[in-house]
Amino acid sequence: MTRRYNFCAGPAALPTPVLERAREEMLDYRGHGLSVMEMSHRSPEFEAIAGAAEANLRTLLQIPDNYRVLFMQGGATMQFACVPLNLLGGGGTPNYLDTGIWSGKAIKEADHLAGSHLAATSRASGYVDVPRNDAIALSADAAYLHYCHNETIGGLAYDYTPDVAVPLVCDMSSSILSTPLDVSRYGVIYAGAQKNIGPAGLTLVIVRDDLLGQALPRTPSLLDWKVYADNASMINTPPTYAWYLAGLVFEWLRDDVGGIEAMATINRRKAATLYGAIDASDFYSNPIAPVNRSLMNVPFVLADEALNNTFLDEAEAAGLLNLKGHRSVGGMRASLYNAVTEQAVDALVAFMGDFERRHG
């Protein structure tokens, strides 16, 4: 068996030791004689799995006691709706920062449900940077400020945490667990699992407890954060296997990697290696302002677009998978999530150098 290098933006690479452990435990979870997939979510075995996953996540991110961790489904996209539904019960206008495709989708959903105020946008620059804090203009009745920390398609990330007088709500789907995070700066953080957390099907929400119980009356109970908080995220059948695998990923981060600081050091090195190779060549380029370059998603284009398909075909033959850019922007994109090893990045950079020598 050969595991190839996977640069997919999501569902993304999972750590090999996590998959090996899941394989070992697949048929008989620790002597219980069942697969985790076959267990009741109300069994003591699964409750222990669920509780340990939450406890490990809390330790990794140093989540303060006044925050609740919710294990939901529906992806980050469902949270685009949950955010206004859960935070507007007391009135006010949703405020948003626009930095590209994912923040744009969140804005569209808020507009659909409640209307929104655009507090700042980097559209004028072509989304190659993020609005600075002093450019953020909240509406007088702002209920919250939403932003997307890492634009997965654009390859654009905030280099600071917005400092505003209303609850900060952040889509961290593609950057959570990649670098240390001060949870106390936020009202709500949410993330789809299929990048740095585990397999698709699970969505994490971290919410400050004073923000619970402010849902609009029409909010369906399955979209109501308080209902999840009051029922240990088991209002209905949760995605049990994805929850279990997320727990294995958290243990891997703690025990094999050594925590989030250690992970961040590796992530910074991986990104520096790839951006360094791009910047050192006239053959490859990345448009993002250096301070806002994403550590997780690195889009790049070839000087000669006619070579795109040859690049992708040869990369695949060399064991480097999923380097095609998002269909809306074209070019290439290498996602360097936590489970993508330094060895994978070195192999990519070596391939890029070789490709340039042969085609440049």
Which stretches of the chain bind ligand PMP, using CB under 6 A? Answer: 10, 75-77, 102, 148, 152, 171, 173-174, 192
Q: Residue 10 or 247: which CB sits closer to ligand PMP?
A: 10
Of 98, 129, 195, 225, the active-site residue reads: 195
Q: Which is nearer to ligand PMP, 120 or 148 (CB)?
A: 148
Nearest CB to ligand PMP, comparing residues 173 and 178: 173
- Tell me how far apart the alpha carbons of residues 202 and 77 are, in angstroms, rounded to a whole number: 12
Cβ 245 to ligand PMP, closest distance in Å? Answer: 15
Query: What's the min distance (Å) between Cβ of 227 and ligand PMP?
Result: 20
Write the CA distances from 202 to 156, 237, 242, integer angstroms: 24, 12, 6
Q: What is the DSSP string of 112-165?
A: HHT--EEEEE-GGGTSSS---GGG----TTEEEEEEESEETTTTEE-SS----S
Q: How far is the CB of 271 from ligand PMP (least distance, A)?
A: 17
Q: Which is nearer to ligand PMP, 203 or 214 (CB)?
A: 203
Tell me the residue ranges of DSSP E strands in 44-88.
Answer: 67-72
Q: Residue 46 or 335: which CB sits closer to ligand PMP?
A: 335
We find the least distance from the C-beta atom of residue 154 to ligand PMP, in angstroms, to be: 10
For 330, other C-beta atoms within 10 Å of its C-beta total 13
The two beta strands, 320-321 and 5-6, are parallel
Q: Of 274, 315, 312, 308, whose CA–CA distance to 293 is shortest?
A: 274
Q: Determine how β-strand 203-208 pairs with β-strand 67-72.
A: antiparallel
- Contact, 313 vs 152, CB < 8 A? no
Spot the catalytic one: 98, 108, 129, 171.
Answer: 171
Is 252 among the residues known to form the active site?
Answer: no
Residue in 102, 225, 243, 252 annotated catalytic: 102
Which residue minimizes CB distance to ligand PMP?
Answer: 75
Smallest gap from Cβ 333 to ligand PMP, in A, equals: 11
108 is catalytic: no
Could you confirm whether 243 is annotated as catalytic? no
Active site residues: 102, 171, 195
